[in-house]
Amino acid sequence: MSGAQFRLRTRLRLAAAIALAIALLGGLLGLLVYTGVYDIGADAPHSEPVAWVIAAIRDRSIAVRANAIVVPRDLNNPLRIAKGAGLYAEMCSECHLAPGMKRTEISQGLYPPAPVLSDTPARPPQEQFWIIKHGVKLTAMAAWGRTHSDDLIWDLVGFTQNLPSLSPEQYSALVKSAPADHEAMMRDAVGQ
């Protein structure tokens, strides 16, 4: 047997082994799906390896997609932060809580649990904007970009960037300084 024939035969065996491995993995995956063996209940946490893979995919996906987002210069504008506080109180606090707020029934039932944003260092503003606008699959995080303008989302980002440093009293004061209701915030955003 010549060297060329030997290399060809070796490549064919390798290709056959790879094809067999792919077929076996596909069959195993199909069996797992068909039997329903993996518990997807929100009260049954993922195994550590599955949770790690999901978190890694989520975090890299967000970082890559948020990379080119330009943060507005007025992100720390007090009016923007006040409007963001009002939006947060109405749309976010049930899941992400607020300074001094006890866990709600909704927040206790979520899996994966929503991060408590007042206790967590803020993600970069570009990532927060992307998450709020597009949501996150397989979590309860809604895609608010379908119903809210980019300006309103930036208001919310401006507020959440400051949230970890707020006391319960400061949080309450900011919420009270927000426009009276959600509809007023939406009207104000149109006039910006």
Residues 76-93 pLDDT 10s: 999 999 999 999 999 999
The answer on 61 and 31 residing in a single domain is no
Question: 155 or 40: whose pLDDT is higher?
Answer: 155
155 within some domain: yes
**pLDDT at position 164, please?**
95
CA angle, 16 then 17 then 21, to 5°: 115
* φ/ψ bin of 154: left (φ > 0), alpha (ψ from -120 to 50), beta (otherwise): alpha
Please state, rounded to an integer, the average pLDDT across all residues of the chain: 91
Please, which pLDDT band fits residue 6 given cuts at 50, 70 and 90? confident
From 40, 29, 30, 35, select the one nearest 138 (Cα to Cα). 40
The enclosing domain of 105 has a CATH number of 1.10.760.10
- Are 121 and 140 in contact by the 8 Å Cβ rule? The answer is no
Domain span including residue 26: 1-38
Residue 60's pLDDT band (cuts 50, 70, 90)? very high
pLDDT of residue 1: 73
CA distances from 52 to 21, 148, 157 (A): 24, 32, 26
Domain count for the chain, please give it: 2
Q: Indicate if the alpha-carbon torsion angle 3, 8, 14, 16 is positive or negative.
A: negative
* 71 in any annotated domain: yes
Does residue 77 belong to any structural domain of this protein?
A: yes
- Is the pLDDT reported for residue 5 higher than 90? no
The pLDDT, as a whole number, for residue 184 is 65
The C-alpha angle with vertex 75 and arms to 74 and 77, in degrees rounded to 5, equals 65
